[in-house]
Amino acid sequence: MHTATAQQSFTLQDGNRNAKIECLTQHPNGYLLLGTVSGIHAFSGTGFTKYSADTSIGTSHVTAIAALPNGKVWAGFSNGALAEVQQGSYRQLVFEEGKFNQAVTSIKADAQGRIWCGTAGEGVYCYDKKKWYNINTADGLSDDYVYDLLLVKDAVLAATDGGVNLIRFTKGKKQIQAVGTRQGLADNITTHLAIAIDGRIVAGHQDNGYSILQLQPQGLRVLERSNRWTAGAVTGVQWLGNAFLVATADSGLLQLQPTAATFLPSGFQRNTGSIAHLLVDKDEHIWTAQQNNVQLHLDAHVRKMFDLPSADIQHLHAIHAAANGAIWYASHNQVIVVQQGQSKRYRIPTSGEASTITSLYLDAANVLWIGTMGNGIWLLDMATGNMQPLPDNNDLRNASVLSISGYKNDIWVSSLEGALHGSMQWAGDAQLPVYKLDMVGNIQSIGTNYIYDILQDSKGNVWFATDGKGVTMLSNGEYKHFTEKEGLNNDVVYTLAEDSKGRIWMNVMNGGLHFIEHNKVYAFNTSNGLSSDAVSLLKADEAGNIVAVTAEGIDLIDTRTMVVQHWGKAQGLPAINTDLNAIATYGHSSVLIAAGTALYSVSTTALHPPKTYFERITLFLNDIDSNSHNRFSSDENNFGFHFNAVDFTHAADMQFQYMLEGLSNKWMTTKDHYVNFPKLPPGNYVFRVRASVNGSFGLSPVAVYQFYIAKPLWQRWWFIVLASGLLAGLLWWLIRYREKQQQHVQQLQQAHLQSQLATLKSQVSPHFFFNSLNTLMALIEDDRKKQALDYTAHLSDFFRKIVQFRNEDTIPLRSELALVADYVFIQQQRFGNALQLDLSGDEAAINAAKIAPLTLQLLIENAIKHNSLTVANPLRIHIAVSTDWITVSNNLLPKIAAEKGEGMGLQNIEHRYQLLTGKHIDIIHSTTHFTVSVPIPR
């Protein structure tokens, strides 16, 4: 078998230095650490980073490197030194006993926290309670040259030049059992060790291949060994899935199936050079190292099982797998079984037109059920190879079967004619059971006879996936329907599966996935991380994880965490066969699919969201120790966060979400690996960052850095209290001083204003008064009684208004105009038509305007005083009102002898309006007109 894609090779360049890779391991954060002849390098999938070295280590080669259970990473060197690897650097560890004298070849840590080191000539060392203990040939070790160490239960296995050694070291007591060729090993020179999930151990040798051992109560025992080995030296051994991967010097990677105890070609690209190291990481990616190249075999989750004959590819409609590892697939009218590299074909013996096989199911009696399109069901007895149609079932003799499934002794058949249920009944000593099938339900109960799939769940409920009527559940004799009304995106449902929590999953036409839990429908689609809503196939493994085949490839859903992992064209996966039954559960944690020209196994184990880690944290671009430095002064407030996460399969799809609590509680999404926060204010902060390759971040591990920025001195509570007291005292004094000053100024202004207004209000010309009396006397003498009475009334109103307005700063313009009307009436008794007055302006503006009392009267009086009035050349006075100004304009008729005056009228008006409005009046003296504009007080 092999992965879905060819290997990818990454070349390590270290300037002009030789960067040959000697060893590699995976850091707990997910990236690789490579030990080379020029130091330690990290590889995250997108590039290499060289770590800085402690000068005391010198130019020694890195010969061993290991991630320990406590999260630390140790490295061993060719000069016998040990170093602790930290982020971006490594430093030599100093022990009381000093360093070893020979190169370190292997490093392991057991459950008790002890560190074990193999050496190239000094045997094995154990570091326990801050003290090193040496185990060598003097203690019974078969040879002091140790290549590899392996932890097994309460012991350690050492691969040496003299075979495999079982070491127990308890309370200072050393117990050693040596196993070599005399005990059945294929070769004494043992270079690598690995252990299978069932406890069997494979030992790789220098010359003669491998040996398989088992730790039994009486000690190590050799179970079997290789024969006629021609692949060269074994350079690495790792357990993967259900087989050992073996790296060799001459034949690249091989696969060892322990059940068959034979080597089969792994299908990986054969390597002509020597593989220096082999690693299977936590996500089951396979890594090999050659010279200064590291190869990634993408992706170990999707592995080719075997190529399909070209005649079978186009007609493959169904796949099934048995518990013994046998794989069945149907092509046209034939069933092919593949087991241990051998295949055998069975043909349906029909006399008429050949039947297309649509579905396969192996029941508890080891009988293969074969569903066809138009020719019912056939049974294949695996013990005898006999094939016959399902007997005594007229309902199915010419039926078109869409799927066959079962649970224990129950058989379920879905067809275009409806659903059938059958059971196996044993009679006497019969080799095979008697099968009896009956129709289940009808159109009224299920909703339709067109049923794609039937599932009997772990609770005994039976589910029917229908074409256009959604999903129907049969429970305790009652039918319950789930359609678009209950939350499905589409009522065409293709396949059904049950996960580990008892939820029923289904794929609907172009509507993604749904699952039903506690009789409620939930959608699961692209917003949850699914690669596409067009899902054609669906299957659950024995652990309850879901594999969905979409338009974009394969999506694997870990139903415990709802994390989705995807494989598609980017990982080199060919086009997938989307026939309804072209998918099958394989073993405990795999699913079989057909893609391109081959059959593939999709592993459903080791799903991990990307783990985010900090590469660097900087303060003003300088690195800080995030483990110990988290309190800062107020001016230390410019932080940069460099972060990363590893997903070797989907490195291009990696994106991050970050949040700085204390500044914002909102997650921000980015594809960048760096974010900067300048000028942070004082306070407590928590920076969080997480990663995802499918946009679903909910279950991704979060990297956290918490820090505190102190307040400056002037923001401390005691400083604020002291400063507040001083400031309060100063403010109180200033307020009191300002209040006194304002009171004084206001008193002066009030007195001055009242004085000015009183003076102005009293300045009505005495000449006007005397002239008015003379006019009145003339009217009386001429016996014009009515005119005299009107004149007296206007004169009385005029003086009454002056008295009325004497205490007002401003009056309505309408009131001033009424006073002016009285005044002009009085003057016209003197001058007749030689004095003319008119008014213009918007009525609303006139009604809203205010004016200082006697302003217009004084301006009109001033115009009469300084001009010559005749009927032939009358004095025309015009009053214009706008929104902000009142303008009084008159034509110039200068007297022959200009009348003397003190100019107090205009000066007083100017002073009054400065006090009232803060503005100057506007005076324009042209050759023909004299104009005065006053601002309207607000």
DSSP output for 690-709: EEESSS--TTS--EEEEEEE
Instruction: Look up tokens 């649509």; give the residue.
Output: 358
Top mean pLDDT of 233-242, 254-263, 702-711 is at 702-711
pLDDT at position 480 over 70: yes
Burial of 762 (0-12, 13-18, 19+ CB in 10 A): exposed
What's the sign of the alpha-carbon dihedral 10, 12, 16, 19? negative
pLDDT in tens, 762-799: 445 566 666 777 777 777 777 777 888 888 888 888 88
Phi, psi of 768 (to 5 degrees): -60, -40
- Per residue in 901-932, pLDDT (tens digit) is 546 678 888 888 887 888 899 999 999 999 99
Band (pLDDT 50/70/90 cuts) for residue 751 is: very low
Confidence of residue 752 (pLDDT cuts 50, 70, 90): very low
**What was the pLDDT predicted at 299?**
55
> For 470-483, what is the mean pLDDT?
94
User: Which residues are within 8 A (CB) of 220 and not within 5 positions of it... i.e. 6 or more apart?
Assistant: 157, 164, 166, 177, 179, 183, 213, 214
**776: which 2 tokens?**
């009145």
What was the pLDDT predicted at 261?
Answer: 39
Q: Which residues contact 608 (CB under 8 A, 6 or more apart)?
A: 282, 283, 563
- Residue 656: the pLDDT is 96
Contact between residue 383 and residue 366 where contact means Cβ atoms under 8 Å apart: yes
**Whether pLDDT at 59 is above 50:** yes
888 pLDDT band, cuts 50/70/90, is very high
User: For the ranges 270-274, 384-388, 915-919, which has the lowest average pLDDT?
Assistant: 270-274
pLDDT-based confidence at 512, cuts 50/70/90? very high
If DSSP codes are grouped into helix, strand and coil, which group holds residue 462? strand
Predicted local distance difference test score (pLDDT) of residue 353 = 67
- Residue 830 confidence (pLDDT): 84
Average pLDDT over residues 214-233: 90
C-alpha to C-alpha distance for 387 and 401, rounded to whole angstroms: 17
The pLDDT of residue 766: 62
Residues 555-577: what's their mean pLDDT? 83
Q: Tabulate helix, strand, coil % of the chain (nearest 5).
A: 20, 45, 40
CB 292 within 8 A of CB 43: no
In the predicted model, what is the mean pLDDT of residues 611-638?
Answer: 92
Q: Is the dihedral of CA 788, 789, 792, 793 positive or negative?
A: negative
Torsion-angle region of 317 (φ positive above 0: left; ψ -120 to 50: alpha; else: beta) = alpha
Nearest to 132 by CA among 116, 113, 156, 143: 116
pLDDT per position as a tens digit, 854-876: 889 889 988 988 899 998 999 99
Residue-wise pLDDT for 148-174, tens only, equals 999 998 899 999 999 999 999 988 899
Is residue 256 a contact partner of residue 246, using CB atoms and an 8 Å limit?
yes
Above 80 in pLDDT, residue 533? Answer: yes
* pLDDT above 60 (res 269): no
* 24-38, 70-84, 152-166, 780-794, range with the lowest pLDDT: 780-794
What is the C-alpha to C-alpha distance for residues 126 and 103, in angstroms, rounded to an integer? 15
Q: What pLDDT does 262 receive?
A: 42
More reliable by pLDDT, 6 or 332: 332
Average pLDDT of the residues in 503-525: 95
Of 914, 840, 830, 818, the residue nearest 864 (C-alpha) = 830
Q: Examine the pLDDT at 263 and tell me if it is beyond 70.
A: no
Contacts of residue 937, defined as CB under 8 A and 6 or more positions apart, other chains included, come to 809, 810, 850, 851, 852, 913, 916, 917
Specify the higher pLDDT residue, 177 or 770: 177
pLDDT of amino acid 476:
92
Rounded to whole angstroms, what are the CA distances from 138 to 80, 117, 134, 175?
Answer: 20, 17, 10, 12
- 660 or 832: which carries more pLDDT confidence? 660
Closest CA to 694 of 527, 918, 574: 527
In DSSP terms, 329 is beta-bridged to 319, 336
Give which of 507, 30, 645 is closest to 282, Cα–Cα: 30
Quick one: pLDDT at residue 638? 96
For 407-446, how does the pLDDT look when each residue is reduced to its tens digit (9 = 90+)? 888 899 998 888 989 888 777 666 778 888 888 877 888 8
- Kindly tell me the number of DSSP H helices and DSSP E strands found in the chain: 9, 74
Answer left, alpha or beta for residue 499, where phi above 0 means left and psi between -120 and 50 means alpha.
Answer: beta
Whether the Cβ atoms of residue 246 and residue 253 lie closer than 8 Å to each other:
yes
Which of these ranges, 255-264, 336-345, 491-500, 634-643, has the smallest mean pLDDT? 255-264
Instruction: Let me know: does 491 contact 484? Beta carbons within 8 Å.
Output: yes
CB 547 within 8 A of CB 539: yes
Contact 447, 486 (CB under 8 A): no
Top-ranked range on mean pLDDT: pick from 10-14, 119-123, 477-481, 718-722: 119-123
Q: Which residues pair with 685 in a beta bridge?
A: 707
Residue 704 contacts residue 693 (beta carbons within 8 Å): no
Q: Residue 479, class by beta-carbon neighbours within 10 Å (0-12 exposed, 13-18 middle, 19+ buried)?
A: middle
516 pLDDT band, cuts 50/70/90, is very high
CA distances from 329 to 333, 345, 639 (A): 11, 10, 60
Q: Which of 222, 220, 225, 221 is nearest to 205 (CA)?
A: 225
Structure tokens belonging to residue 678 = 């300048």
pLDDT band (50, 70, 90) for residue 393: low
The residue type found at 522 is Y
